[in-house]
Amino acid sequence: MQPWKTLSRETILDYSKFLTVEQHTVELPDGQVIVDWPWVVTPDYVNVVAVTEDGRFLLFRQTKYAVSGTTLATVGGYLEPGEVPLAAAQRELREETGYAAPDWLALGSYVVDGNRGAGTAHFFLARRAYPVTAIDADDLEEQILLHLTPAEVEAALAAGEFKVLAWMAVIALALRYV
Protein backbone atom coordinates (compact mmCIF):
# COMPACT_ATOMS: atom_id res chain seq x y z
CA MET A 1 0.00 0.00 0.00
CA GLN A 2 1.42 3.33 -1.04
CA PRO A 3 0.63 6.72 0.52
CA TRP A 4 -0.91 9.55 -1.43
CA LYS A 5 1.56 12.22 -2.49
CA THR A 6 1.09 15.94 -1.91
CA LEU A 7 2.15 17.61 -5.18
CA SER A 8 1.42 21.17 -4.06
CA ARG A 9 -0.45 23.11 -1.43
CA GLU A 10 -1.79 26.64 -1.17
CA THR A 11 -3.48 28.54 1.61
CA ILE A 12 -7.03 29.53 0.68
CA LEU A 13 -8.18 30.84 4.08
CA ASP A 14 -5.78 32.24 6.68
CA TYR A 15 -8.29 33.02 9.37
CA SER A 16 -6.45 32.95 12.70
CA LYS A 17 -4.22 30.76 14.82
CA PHE A 18 -7.29 28.61 15.30
CA LEU A 19 -8.02 27.93 11.63
CA THR A 20 -6.24 27.85 8.31
CA VAL A 21 -7.60 26.09 5.21
CA GLU A 22 -5.37 24.82 2.43
CA GLN A 23 -6.05 23.32 -0.97
CA HIS A 24 -3.80 20.41 -1.88
CA THR A 25 -3.05 18.80 -5.20
CA VAL A 26 -2.75 15.11 -4.41
CA GLU A 27 -1.53 12.15 -6.46
CA LEU A 28 -2.99 8.73 -5.73
CA PRO A 29 -0.98 5.50 -6.11
CA ASP A 30 -2.74 4.73 -9.41
CA GLY A 31 -1.58 8.06 -10.87
CA GLN A 32 -4.94 9.83 -10.50
CA VAL A 33 -4.49 13.49 -9.52
CA ILE A 34 -6.99 15.40 -7.37
CA VAL A 35 -6.49 19.14 -7.64
CA ASP A 36 -8.91 20.35 -4.98
CA TRP A 37 -8.35 18.35 -1.83
CA PRO A 38 -9.28 20.53 1.18
CA TRP A 39 -6.96 20.46 4.19
CA VAL A 40 -7.78 22.01 7.56
CA VAL A 41 -5.11 23.28 9.94
CA THR A 42 -6.31 23.64 13.53
CA PRO A 43 -4.20 23.47 16.70
CA ASP A 44 -3.12 20.16 18.18
CA TYR A 45 -4.59 19.53 21.58
CA VAL A 46 -4.31 17.36 24.67
CA ASN A 47 -6.92 15.70 26.81
CA VAL A 48 -6.21 14.28 30.24
CA VAL A 49 -8.17 11.80 32.29
CA ALA A 50 -7.03 12.58 35.81
CA VAL A 51 -7.80 10.19 38.65
CA THR A 52 -7.16 11.17 42.26
CA GLU A 53 -5.39 9.13 44.91
CA ASP A 54 -8.80 7.99 46.20
CA GLY A 55 -9.98 6.90 42.75
CA ARG A 56 -12.13 9.88 41.72
CA PHE A 57 -12.15 11.16 38.14
CA LEU A 58 -11.57 14.91 37.78
CA LEU A 59 -14.10 16.04 35.20
CA PHE A 60 -16.15 19.09 34.34
CA ARG A 61 -19.77 19.86 33.74
CA GLN A 62 -19.67 22.67 31.21
CA THR A 63 -21.17 24.41 28.25
CA LYS A 64 -19.46 24.37 24.87
CA TYR A 65 -20.42 26.36 21.80
CA ALA A 66 -20.90 23.34 19.54
CA VAL A 67 -22.81 21.34 22.15
CA SER A 68 -26.50 21.49 22.96
CA GLY A 69 -27.10 21.87 26.71
CA THR A 70 -24.22 20.95 29.00
CA THR A 71 -21.69 18.15 28.65
CA LEU A 72 -19.22 16.28 30.77
CA ALA A 73 -15.67 17.16 29.79
CA THR A 74 -12.12 16.14 30.57
CA VAL A 75 -9.17 18.38 31.29
CA GLY A 76 -7.69 19.61 28.03
CA GLY A 77 -6.62 22.38 25.74
CA TYR A 78 -4.46 23.45 22.85
CA LEU A 79 -0.71 23.05 22.79
CA GLU A 80 1.15 26.33 23.12
CA PRO A 81 3.81 27.09 20.48
CA GLY A 82 6.81 24.79 20.97
CA GLU A 83 5.17 22.86 23.78
CA VAL A 84 5.36 19.05 23.80
CA PRO A 85 2.13 17.16 24.51
CA LEU A 86 3.04 15.87 27.98
CA ALA A 87 4.00 19.36 29.14
CA ALA A 88 0.72 20.73 27.80
CA ALA A 89 -1.19 17.96 29.57
CA GLN A 90 0.53 18.69 32.89
CA ARG A 91 -0.03 22.44 32.46
CA GLU A 92 -3.71 22.04 31.64
CA LEU A 93 -4.25 19.72 34.61
CA ARG A 94 -2.72 22.28 36.93
CA GLU A 95 -4.49 25.31 35.41
CA GLU A 96 -7.93 23.76 35.10
CA THR A 97 -8.09 21.74 38.33
CA GLY A 98 -5.21 22.86 40.56
CA TYR A 99 -3.99 19.26 40.67
CA ALA A 100 -0.69 17.60 39.78
CA ALA A 101 0.11 13.89 39.38
CA PRO A 102 3.25 11.73 39.69
CA ASP A 103 2.08 8.98 37.32
CA TRP A 104 1.44 9.77 33.63
CA LEU A 105 0.50 7.24 30.97
CA ALA A 106 0.44 8.32 27.31
CA LEU A 107 -2.70 6.93 25.65
CA GLY A 108 -1.63 7.73 22.09
CA SER A 109 -1.94 10.44 19.45
CA TYR A 110 -4.71 10.48 16.89
CA VAL A 111 -5.36 12.57 13.80
CA VAL A 112 -8.76 14.25 14.16
CA ASP A 113 -9.87 13.99 10.51
CA GLY A 114 -8.39 11.20 8.40
CA ASN A 115 -9.11 13.10 5.20
CA ARG A 116 -8.55 16.76 6.09
CA GLY A 117 -6.16 16.67 9.05
CA ALA A 118 -7.66 19.15 11.54
CA GLY A 119 -4.84 18.60 14.02
CA THR A 120 -3.79 15.79 16.31
CA ALA A 121 -5.27 14.84 19.67
CA HIS A 122 -2.80 13.63 22.32
CA PHE A 123 -4.33 11.67 25.18
CA PHE A 124 -3.06 10.99 28.69
CA LEU A 125 -4.07 9.25 31.88
CA ALA A 126 -2.81 10.96 35.05
CA ARG A 127 -2.98 8.77 38.13
CA ARG A 128 -2.67 9.55 41.86
CA ALA A 129 -3.55 13.19 41.21
CA TYR A 130 -3.43 15.46 44.25
CA PRO A 131 -4.27 19.14 44.84
CA VAL A 132 -1.36 21.58 44.73
CA THR A 133 -2.70 25.03 43.89
CA ALA A 134 -5.75 27.11 43.06
CA ILE A 135 -7.54 26.83 39.73
CA ASP A 136 -6.18 29.28 37.15
CA ALA A 137 -8.13 28.54 33.99
CA ASP A 138 -8.47 30.98 31.12
CA ASP A 139 -11.37 29.19 29.42
CA LEU A 140 -14.27 31.23 28.18
CA GLU A 141 -16.79 28.56 29.09
CA GLU A 142 -18.44 28.14 32.47
CA GLN A 143 -17.37 24.90 34.07
CA ILE A 144 -17.79 23.10 37.38
CA LEU A 145 -15.15 20.66 38.63
CA LEU A 146 -16.55 17.25 39.58
CA HIS A 147 -15.05 14.26 41.41
CA LEU A 148 -16.79 11.20 39.97
CA THR A 149 -16.45 7.53 40.88
CA PRO A 150 -15.52 5.02 38.17
CA ALA A 151 -19.09 3.71 38.23
CA GLU A 152 -20.44 7.23 37.70
CA VAL A 153 -18.04 7.77 34.80
CA GLU A 154 -19.02 4.46 33.19
CA ALA A 155 -22.72 5.31 33.52
CA ALA A 156 -22.16 8.79 32.05
CA LEU A 157 -20.23 7.33 29.13
CA ALA A 158 -23.00 4.86 28.38
CA ALA A 159 -25.59 7.64 28.63
CA GLY A 160 -23.80 9.81 26.07
CA GLU A 161 -23.01 12.56 28.58
CA PHE A 162 -19.57 13.12 27.05
CA LYS A 163 -20.87 14.88 23.94
CA VAL A 164 -17.58 15.84 22.29
CA LEU A 165 -15.76 13.11 20.35
CA ALA A 166 -12.32 13.57 21.93
CA TRP A 167 -13.68 13.55 25.48
CA MET A 168 -15.69 10.40 24.94
CA ALA A 169 -12.69 8.81 23.24
CA VAL A 170 -10.16 9.54 25.98
CA ILE A 171 -12.59 8.40 28.67
CA ALA A 172 -13.36 5.13 26.88
CA LEU A 173 -9.64 4.52 26.44
CA ALA A 174 -8.63 5.51 29.97
CA LEU A 175 -11.23 3.22 31.55
CA ARG A 176 -9.23 0.32 30.12
CA TYR A 177 -6.33 1.25 32.42
CA VAL A 178 -8.11 2.28 35.63
Residues that bind its own copies (CB under 8 A): 1-4, 12-13, 15-16, 18-19, 21, 23, 26, 28-29, 32, 34, 36-38, 40, 42, 61-71, 73, 108-118, 121, 140, 142, 144, 157-158, 160, 162-169, 172-173, 175-176
Task: Rank residues 40 and 145 by Cβ distance to its own copies and give the closer one.
Answer: 40
Helix axes 165-174, 150-158, angle to 10 degrees: 140
Taking the complex as a whole, the smallest distance from the CB of residue 131 to its own copies amounts, in Å, to 24
Q: Kindly state the helix (H) or strand (E) to which residue 145 belongs, with its residue range.
A: strand 143-148
Residue 46, C-beta contacts closer than 8 angstroms, at least 6 positions apart: 76, 77, 79, 85, 88, 89, 92, 121, 122, 123, 124
Q: Cα–Cα distance between 63 and 113 in angstroms, integer?
A: 23
Q: How far apart are CA 21 and CA 41, in angstroms?
A: 6
Q: Which is nearer to its own copies, 56 or 163 (CB)?
A: 163
In the bound complex, what is the minimum distance in angstroms from residue 117's beta carbon to its own copies?
A: 5
Q: Which is nearer to its own copies, 16 or 81 (CB)?
A: 16
User: Considering the complex, what minimum distance in angstroms separates the CB of residue 75 from its own copies?
Assistant: 13
- The DSSP code sequence of 4-22 is -EEEEEEEEEEEETTEEEE
Our CA angle for 176, 145, 65, nearest 5°, is 90
Minimum distance between the CB of residue 12 and its own copies, rounded to whole angstroms?
7
Give 38 or 55: the residue with its C-beta nearer to its own copies: 38
Would you say 78 or 100 has its CB closer to its own copies? Answer: 78
